[in-house]
Amino acid sequence: MQAMSELQILSEKLHLSSSIKELAAVIYRKALEEDLTRGRTIAAIVAAAVYVDCRFTKTPKTLDDIVKVSARSRGEVSRAYRLIVRTLKIEVPSHDPLGYISRIAEKAGIPGKVQGVAVNILRKAKHMRIALGKDPAGVAAAVLYIACQLRGEHMTQKEIAEAAGRTEVTLRNRKKDITKKLGLHL
């Protein structure tokens, strides 16, 4: 009962669909069957199950998004996440930076035409496997910044990095990689 009420609260705060919530409940029940709750808080296991489900369904929610609305620490939730994935042998796909572009652009107030340019840059970067293994929110922030520069939209690295919840250093490093490998001159 406690787990299901915790799941309900997280789902409402994160605005998750009922199908995502149901799959997270299934993951939690499997974790319970494997006795993964022993020595861990129910809240951490529930939060981790929600994160596993978001990754599995490619819902653009970061671990930090889930930790913000959870009553548990980042370390506790990430340990529970790794335990669930390893024990239940779940193949978790990586996040796609494409899902973060509109979210970051909306927070930063970046117009739609610039978002379109960013999507095209991201597609080229993905095709050339530039963004592989990199933080998806950082990559999305970088392509948005590049698109702003290409379209003459005045946005600072700081504004976009803050909207993405990443550092300016991350944005700069991803920008440098992408512009160099795609041959873009800004």
CA 153 to CA 140: how far, in whole Å? 16
Calpha distance 32→3 (Å, rounded)? 10
For 98-182, the fitting CATH number among 2.40.70.10, 1.10.3720.10, 3.40.50.10470, 1.10.472.10 is: 1.10.472.10
* Phi, psi dihedrals of residue 153, rounded to the nearest 5°: -85, 120
The angle subtended at Cα 178 by Cα 177 and Cα 183, nearest 5°, is 105
Q: How many CA atoms lie within 13 A of 173 on its CB side?
A: 10
Better pLDDT: 57 or 143: 143
Taking the C-alpha atoms of residue 99 and residue 118, their distance in angstroms, rounded to an integer, is 12
Per-residue model confidence (pLDDT) at position 122: 96
The DSSP letter of residue 130 is -
Query: How does pLDDT run across 166-184, given as a tens digit for each residue?
Result: 999 999 999 999 999 999 9
Do 2-87 and 98-182 agree at the fold level?
Answer: yes
Q: Which CATH class is domain 2-87?
A: mainly alpha
Q: What is the mean pLDDT of the chain?
A: 92
pLDDT at 37: 86
- Domain residue ranges of the chain, discontinuous segments joined by +: 2-87, 98-182
pLDDT per position as a tens digit, 69-124: 998 999 999 999 999 999 999 988 877 899 899 999 999 999 999 999 999 999 99
Q: Which pair of structure tokens corresponds to residue 126?
A: 């993905």
8-51 residue pLDDT tens: 999 999 999 999 899 999 999 999 999 988 889 999 999 999 99
* Enclosing H/E stretch for 121: helix 112-127
Read off the pTM.
Answer: 0.69
